[in-house]
Chains A and B, each alone.
Chain A
């Protein structure tokens, strides 16, 4: 009921708003170009005054649209949440508008999403990596990034040259239970992803 009221109120400013399947809070899919307007309407007219969470989903390497940005807003009056999602149109270099103009908390959370998913937030004042180091070349939460990681140079070339040390992948991909998403006997049976090498057997070249 409340979700329906919200939806009809929001559709005045954004007619393309669609329901998003959700098991708990009202959730809407919003076109990317209307995202800022919808979130601003939620904040100013409907009392959703805190951005609690901003993140993204990688829908799979072959999926299109591949990346979806997701926001959770919280209302301090009604103590309820709302979920707004928007698909990025470009699968290769996804772009989303920044919400830093509306919420200060968006700053770091968008930096994190940029860091881990490689989503570029247009208009973000300070879009640097936040969890990984600055010149790290990958985006780890993308589905094509292996759990064990990739071999990398150390970020400081001087230390790398003097020590010859590199950042190496984890010794075994995720331990005994790693979900296999591709064809296997059972689609849901967790098995080790990469058993070709481990602590005992050296990594083949």
Chain B
């Protein structure tokens, strides 16, 4: 980045005034914020140019968490890549797993059973709640409200206990497979999810009472980091950040996948596109997620949790592999060669907590993708920083970063 400073040239109005201007000529200060700064959640670095406390230029530096996921994907079979999707948006691995599996199933033109779809909806929505809880907790902590963080992290912990019960892992769940999920829900799990939902909503009201009409919170977030509708669309923002600017787009409703069209929910929208609106949208989204979870559990269909007829794609459950020859062969073929995929190209986007997580898969047949592009929503959401931070105070940056709710795992991939 250049160290050039814009010099202020005073209008030629006599020697004295010019001399005074010379004396007060300010020099722009260059500050490197991050990559390990508490409010740059993860490893984002911002090269800032400051005039006093006013931000004149903001240049985000990415790539500290670049692992080459797309290169890795080209070198392994479709199912082997599932654990890597955990680490994209590592705050909502269950939603990533489902999005990736749906993308590959689209390539295979495979319809998964209704029960599998419903399970994916429940897990994706729980992941959304957990991701928004962390985003909200970190956001409020960045602008100085510590209590909210305590509440949201306690709730998130309860969700992680539920995830552990379902998938065997708290964080890196790897729950989806191409053509199904790894295992069915354990007995009584849905009751515990419903119990969580019942206890969660009053706590969300508590959080709301701490923030929504809080004068300090309002001062720190209202009219800060305003993103116009046009900018939000042009910069490719998605998810709550797009809806915070008042653009009515939710892929769950508008381009339904995994049976989302059966569920009744509302899409909250902001008006001003400021940090406060993005907060308000996320709060309401959590309530709507609870609504979807309750509906999905209420009409949870029976039947298999994986596509039984997809013999060349889904590896059957372990107990069947160990007792039946047919399934053993099936498992062997899928493990060694990968699932049998047709040649072709698909692009699929799922409405994830951070926005639209997209997978563009180019297949030339066989079990390994020829090219897989991952569209991480945080990548686009962060690209607006170079515009939205300008002219604000440096202390607004932590509010803006918190409200954009990004995660570097999917940004750097």
Contact = CB atoms under 8 A, between A and B. Distances in A.
Interface of A: 20-25, 27, 49-53, 55, 57-58, 70, 72, 76, 79-81, 83, 103-105, 107-109, 112, 116, 129-133, 140-141, 145, 147, 174-175, 177-179, 186-190, 193
Interface in B161-179: none
29 contacts: A22-B345, A23-B107, A23-B346, A49-B233, A50-B233, A53-B360, A57-B362, A70-B360, A76-B249, A81-B347, A103-B234, A104-B234, A104-B235, A104-B236, A104-B383, A105-B234, A109-B379, A141-B70, A141-B71, A145-B71, A147-B75, A177-B75, A177-B77, A178-B75, A179-B74, A179-B75, A188-B365, A190-B76, A193-B75
A9 B142 CA distance: 51
A105 B230 CA distance: 12
Size category of the B interface is 35 or more
Nearest to A145: B71
A108 B379 contact: yes
B358 A52 contact: yes
A189 B233 contact: no
Contacts of A175: 76
Contacts of B234: 50, 103-105
A190 B71 contact: no
B144 interface: no
A8 B233 CA distance: 27
B367 A131 contact: no
Interface stretch (B35-43, B61-69, B288-296): B61-69
Contacts of B375: 52-53
Interface string B357-381: 0101010011110110101000110
Interface of B: 62-63, 66, 68, 70-72, 74-77, 80, 106-107, 109, 231, 233-236, 238, 247, 249, 251, 254-255, 336-338, 342, 344-349, 356, 358, 360, 362, 365-368, 370-371, 373, 375, 379-380, 383-384, 387, 412-413
Given A108-B379, A133-B63, A147-B72, A190 B77 contact: yes
Given A79-B254, A147-B72, A178-B76, A52 B349 contact: yes
A50 B71 CA distance: 26
Given A179-B76, A193-B75, 7 more contacts: A21-B344, A23-B344, A55-B360, A104-B384, A177-B76, A179-B74, A188-B368
A193 B274 CA distance: 50
A129 B75 CA distance: 24
Contact of B366 (A80, A104, A187): A187
B337 A186 contact: yes
Contact of A190 (B235, B236, B368): B368
A52 B356 contact: yes
A33 B71 CA distance: 29
Contacts of B63: 129-133
Given A52-B375, A53-B373, A103-B236, A132 B346 contact: no
A45 B370 CA distance: 34
Q: Pick from B71, B347, B362 the residue with the most CB of A within 10 Å.
A: B347
A132 B64 CA distance: 8
B109 A76 contact: no
Contacts of B342: 23
A52 to B, nearest CB: 6
B75 A131 contact: no
